[in-house]
Amino acid sequence: MFAGVCLGAALLSGCDRGPDAPTKAATDPVQPGQKDSKTSGPPPVSADSPPPAGDAVPAAAATSINAFAVDLHRALAAEPGNLFVSPASIALAFAMTHAGAKGETAAEMARVFHFNGTPSKDFAAALGRWSRAQGIELAVANRLYGERTVKFVQAFVDVTRTDFAAPLELVDYKGSFAAVRQQINAWVAERTADRIKDLLPPDGVDATTRMVLVNAIYFKAQWDEEFMAGATQPGPFFAASGQKTAPMMTRTDLYEVAVGDGVKALQLPYSGGEYAMVVILPDAKDGLAAVEKALTIDGLTRWIAAMQPKRVAVKLPRFKIEPGEGLRLSRTLAKLGLVRAFDVAQADFTGMAPASEKIVLSEAFHKAFVAVDEKGTEAAAATAVSARGGGMPPSDPPIEFTADHPFLFLVRDTRSGAILFMGRLSEPT
């Protein structure tokens, strides 16, 4: 089974900022209509292939992603119903955008996404690690679609190509934006096994669009120990809207679990042990809202760090969350403090294109899909090692972990700690 997510992260337009607009000049632009000498030949990495990286765990990128993941979830949690996003996908797309930002615009993006040091290098390390995932399918792809008449700054083109494996493709927004939209959506669908379709809606691009930065993540993994399909039985699920019936998967095994603070945290490893799903279950059947309200990155980190191998009797619903209409993230990101990048009078993306282009973010689109069953997890948009030695004696009663009411869940890279996907199940479907 698999999990994946996809983001058309930053949609950039050229807008008239008025007489007070910054007039910084860009340097070393890529000449439109001409081949870039650095991209016409063999690139340092192949298109859509993450850059190579050493064995060092990309902790800096993980720290940024996880802090942003908690901020984003709390901002989105006010809306009822199921929720599923890939904070890694969104952070990656905006890390690419950050590479073209300057001054206060760049500083504001760094604060919102918790970037430290050099984000491009940090995320290059993360991409290198994810490209070497063992025992699962994990593919991360980035791409830039730029207006062919714009002279993009060469340094920006170089950084996105080498650090993010995001080649620049010159397209014709001015003359044929509808066709470009179809082209981008087709690329996204291909990279996510058709789980994410129509990422960009009909109004997602127009003749003023100058750049679309896109990230797609596809994750597919089997559980380290599968749930037996024959053991799955219909059972009650106490949703906010009332009691439902859901197919409840069951298994008693050695899992890492933490109990306390009104919640239980359970880690279900995928094959190979380097990636896992963590389920955070409130003790109270109506306790999820309180858990979400109190959620912090420190608290989440403590829950995960406190997990120990125990015998656990797990009951978990089989479920699927379809993307439906994509999220438009600009308002949510504004609540988190990202304002200048979307403000025509303040945005400074002169690291991406000349000031004369008056580049400003117009919107950010996000879609994600997840399916969880007896075999594993599938997600389109986007682990802990299960210790098998020294388990509890079979005579000891197992810890009951019955996820028959709303809970949080996330898919994480257990070595770096990075949260690839994060969601909330309120209504099993």
Q: How far is CA 62 from CA 31, 143, 172, 286, in A?
A: 36, 21, 36, 31
Is residue 3 scored above 80 in pLDDT?
no
Is residue 298 scored above 90 in pLDDT?
yes
Is residue 251 scored above 60 in pLDDT?
yes
DSSP letters, 91-108, are HHHHHHHHTT--HHHHHH
Is residue 399 scored above 60 in pLDDT?
yes
Is residue 327 scored above 60 in pLDDT?
yes
Rounded to an integer, the average pLDDT of 316-336 is 91
Q: How far is CA 351 from CA 157, 209, 334, 407, in A?
A: 10, 17, 22, 42
Is residue 429 scored above 50 in pLDDT?
yes
Domains and CATH numbers, the chain: 2-35+42-222+321-371 (3.30.497.10), 229-317+384-425 (2.30.39.10)
Rounded to an integer, the average pLDDT of 315-322 is 94
User: What is the CA 224 to chain-centroid distance, rounded?
Assistant: 23
| pLDDT tens, residue by residue, 7-57 | 343 444 444 333 333 333 333 444 443 433 333 332 233 334 444 444 444
Query: What is the pLDDT confidence band of residue 326, given thresholds at 50, 70 and 90?
Result: confident
Closest alpha carbon to 180 in 158, 218, 211, 152: 211
AA identity, residue 124: A
| pLDDT tens, residue by residue, 345-397 | 899 999 999 998 888 998 899 999 999 999 999 885 621 111 111 233 445 67
What is the structure's pLDDT at 175?
A: 95
In 95-163, beta strands by DSSP E: 137-147
Q: Where are the alpha helices (DSSP H) in 4-118?
A: 37-40, 59-76, 87-98, 103-113
Rounded to an integer, the average pLDDT of 60-77 is 95
What is the structure's pLDDT at 2?
A: 27
Other beta carbons within 10 Å of 17: 18
What is the structure's pLDDT at 260?
A: 87
Comparing 318 with 20, the larger pLDDT belongs to: 318
What is the structure's pLDDT at 44?
A: 30
What is the structure's pLDDT at 324?
A: 78
Q: Where are the alpha helices (DSSP H) in 192-236?
A: none
Task: Choose the weakest-confidence range: 32-36, 277-281, 307-311, 329-333.
Answer: 32-36
Per cent of the chain over pLDDT 90 is 69
What is the structure's pLDDT at 184?
A: 93
What is the structure's pLDDT at 381?
A: 65
Rounded to an integer, the average pLDDT of 117-123 is 91
Mean residue pLDDT across the chain = 83
| pLDDT tens, residue by residue, 47-67 | 344 444 444 446 899 999 999
Backbone angles phi, psi at 333, to 5 degrees: -65, -35
What is the rounded distance in angstroms from the CA atom of residue 5 to the CA atom of residue 7? Answer: 7
Contact 304, 383 (CB under 8 A): no
Is residue 211 scored above 60 in pLDDT?
yes
